[in-house]
Amino acid sequence: MCCRWEIPRTNYPATRAGYLTWRANLKSLAATHVAELLTSASTPTADRNPVINPSLSEEEVGRVAALIRKEKLSTDPETQVLEDVACLVFLDDQFDDFEARDEIGEEKILSILRKTWGKMSERGREIALGMELSEKAKGLIRKAIAG
Protein backbone atom coordinates (compact mmCIF):
# COMPACT_ATOMS: atom_id res chain seq x y z
CA MET A 1 0.00 0.00 0.00
CA CYS A 2 1.15 3.53 -0.77
CA CYS A 3 2.40 5.96 1.79
CA ARG A 4 3.24 3.70 4.76
CA TRP A 5 6.33 5.78 5.46
CA GLU A 6 4.19 8.92 5.61
CA ILE A 7 1.93 7.52 8.31
CA PRO A 8 3.95 5.15 10.50
CA ARG A 9 2.05 2.31 12.15
CA THR A 10 3.73 3.29 15.41
CA ASN A 11 1.65 6.51 15.45
CA TYR A 12 -1.41 4.39 16.34
CA PRO A 13 -2.22 2.15 19.30
CA ALA A 14 -1.05 -1.46 18.99
CA THR A 15 -4.64 -2.65 18.97
CA ARG A 16 -7.03 -3.89 16.31
CA ALA A 17 -8.83 -0.53 16.38
CA GLY A 18 -5.49 1.27 16.02
CA TYR A 19 -4.57 -0.94 13.08
CA LEU A 20 -7.91 -0.39 11.35
CA THR A 21 -7.66 3.37 11.84
CA TRP A 22 -4.12 3.35 10.44
CA ARG A 23 -5.24 1.34 7.38
CA ALA A 24 -8.21 3.67 6.77
CA ASN A 25 -5.93 6.69 6.96
CA LEU A 26 -3.47 5.06 4.54
CA LYS A 27 -6.28 4.39 2.05
CA SER A 28 -7.50 7.96 2.35
CA LEU A 29 -4.01 9.39 1.85
CA ALA A 30 -3.35 7.12 -1.14
CA ALA A 31 -6.68 8.14 -2.69
CA THR A 32 -5.84 11.81 -2.19
CA HIS A 33 -2.41 11.37 -3.81
CA VAL A 34 -3.85 9.54 -6.82
CA ALA A 35 -6.63 12.10 -7.26
CA GLU A 36 -4.04 14.90 -7.21
CA LEU A 37 -1.87 13.07 -9.76
CA LEU A 38 -4.82 12.39 -12.05
CA THR A 39 -6.01 15.97 -11.82
CA SER A 40 -2.57 17.42 -12.53
CA ALA A 41 -1.99 14.96 -15.39
CA SER A 42 -5.33 15.96 -16.90
CA THR A 43 -4.65 19.69 -16.72
CA PRO A 44 -2.73 21.38 -19.52
CA THR A 45 -0.04 23.81 -18.42
CA ALA A 46 1.88 26.48 -20.28
CA ASP A 47 4.74 24.07 -20.97
CA ARG A 48 2.84 20.85 -21.78
CA ASN A 49 -0.35 19.31 -23.01
CA PRO A 50 -2.27 17.09 -20.60
CA VAL A 51 -0.59 13.75 -19.96
CA ILE A 52 -4.01 12.11 -19.81
CA ASN A 53 -5.90 12.88 -22.96
CA PRO A 54 -8.82 13.24 -22.95
CA SER A 55 -8.75 14.71 -19.49
CA LEU A 56 -10.57 12.90 -16.72
CA SER A 57 -13.66 14.51 -15.32
CA GLU A 58 -13.95 15.37 -11.66
CA GLU A 59 -16.42 12.50 -11.37
CA GLU A 60 -13.94 10.02 -12.89
CA VAL A 61 -11.15 11.17 -10.58
CA GLY A 62 -13.55 10.80 -7.64
CA ARG A 63 -14.44 7.29 -8.75
CA VAL A 64 -10.79 6.24 -8.85
CA ALA A 65 -10.28 7.70 -5.36
CA ALA A 66 -13.36 5.82 -4.08
CA LEU A 67 -12.00 2.57 -5.51
CA ILE A 68 -8.66 3.10 -3.77
CA ARG A 69 -10.47 3.77 -0.48
CA LYS A 70 -12.38 0.50 -1.10
CA GLU A 71 -15.70 2.24 -0.60
CA LYS A 72 -18.81 0.05 -0.72
CA LEU A 73 -16.70 -3.10 -0.87
CA SER A 74 -19.63 -5.42 -0.26
CA THR A 75 -21.92 -3.79 -2.83
CA ASP A 76 -19.68 -2.36 -5.57
CA PRO A 77 -18.53 -5.02 -8.07
CA GLU A 78 -15.55 -2.96 -9.26
CA THR A 79 -14.32 -2.40 -5.72
CA GLN A 80 -14.71 -6.12 -5.06
CA VAL A 81 -12.65 -6.98 -8.14
CA LEU A 82 -9.85 -4.72 -6.91
CA GLU A 83 -9.99 -6.38 -3.49
CA ASP A 84 -9.88 -9.81 -5.12
CA VAL A 85 -6.84 -8.74 -7.13
CA ALA A 86 -5.07 -7.48 -4.00
CA CYS A 87 -5.79 -10.76 -2.19
CA LEU A 88 -4.69 -12.86 -5.18
CA VAL A 89 -1.45 -10.89 -5.52
CA PHE A 90 -0.78 -11.47 -1.82
CA LEU A 91 -1.36 -15.21 -2.19
CA ASP A 92 0.60 -15.52 -5.43
CA ASP A 93 3.54 -13.18 -4.92
CA GLN A 94 3.89 -12.46 -1.22
CA PHE A 95 2.46 -15.28 0.88
CA ASP A 96 5.40 -17.71 0.86
CA ASP A 97 7.89 -15.04 1.99
CA PHE A 98 5.41 -13.73 4.55
CA GLU A 99 4.65 -17.18 5.93
CA ALA A 100 8.36 -18.04 6.21
CA ARG A 101 9.06 -15.23 8.67
CA ASP A 102 10.12 -16.65 12.02
CA GLU A 103 8.09 -14.22 14.10
CA ILE A 104 4.78 -15.29 12.56
CA GLY A 105 3.32 -18.50 13.91
CA GLU A 106 0.88 -20.81 12.19
CA GLU A 107 -2.16 -19.53 14.12
CA LYS A 108 -1.43 -15.98 13.00
CA ILE A 109 -1.00 -17.18 9.41
CA LEU A 110 -4.32 -19.04 9.57
CA SER A 111 -6.02 -15.96 10.99
CA ILE A 112 -4.63 -13.83 8.15
CA LEU A 113 -5.72 -16.38 5.55
CA ARG A 114 -9.24 -16.51 7.01
CA LYS A 115 -9.49 -12.72 6.88
CA THR A 116 -8.12 -12.67 3.34
CA TRP A 117 -10.58 -15.38 2.29
CA GLY A 118 -13.43 -13.47 3.91
CA LYS A 119 -12.69 -10.36 1.83
CA MET A 120 -12.78 -12.24 -1.46
CA SER A 121 -15.74 -12.90 -3.74
CA GLU A 122 -16.72 -16.42 -4.73
CA ARG A 123 -15.01 -15.87 -8.10
CA GLY A 124 -11.85 -14.63 -6.37
CA ARG A 125 -11.86 -17.73 -4.18
CA GLU A 126 -12.25 -19.97 -7.24
CA ILE A 127 -9.26 -18.30 -8.86
CA ALA A 128 -7.23 -18.64 -5.65
CA LEU A 129 -7.97 -22.36 -5.42
CA GLY A 130 -6.82 -22.81 -9.02
CA MET A 131 -3.55 -20.91 -8.64
CA GLU A 132 -0.17 -22.60 -8.72
CA LEU A 133 0.87 -22.14 -5.10
CA SER A 134 3.44 -23.95 -3.00
CA GLU A 135 2.23 -27.14 -1.34
CA LYS A 136 2.68 -25.49 2.05
CA ALA A 137 0.54 -22.51 0.99
CA LYS A 138 -2.18 -24.81 -0.39
CA GLY A 139 -2.19 -26.80 2.84
CA LEU A 140 -2.46 -23.70 5.00
CA ILE A 141 -5.27 -22.31 2.84
CA ARG A 142 -7.18 -25.59 3.10
CA LYS A 143 -6.66 -25.61 6.86
CA ALA A 144 -7.75 -21.96 7.18
CA ILE A 145 -10.94 -22.30 5.17
CA ALA A 146 -11.86 -25.55 6.92
CA GLY A 147 -12.11 -23.56 10.13
Per-residue pLDDT of the chain (147 residues; tens, 9 = 90+): 455 568 889 999 999 999 999 999 999 999 999 998 888 877 777 676 667 767 788 999 999 999 999 999 889 999 999 999 999 999 999 998 888 888 888 999 999 999 999 999 999 999 999 999 999 999 999 999 997
**96-103: long-range pairs with CB below 8 Å, 24+:** 96/133, 96/134, 96/136, 96/137, 99/136, 99/137, 99/140
Distances (CA, A) of 14 to 8, 11, 19, 20, 146: 12, 9, 7, 10, 29
Contacts of 15 (CB under 8 A, 6+ apart): none
pLDDT confidence of residue 51? 74
In angstroms, the CA 24 to CA 27 distance is 5
Bridge partners of 45?
A: 48
How much is the pTM? 0.77
Instruction: Identify the three-state secondary structure at position 31.
Output: helix
Length of the chain: 147
Contact (CB, 8 A) for 91 and 137: yes
Angle 90-26-96 (CA atoms, 0-180°, nearest 5)? 15
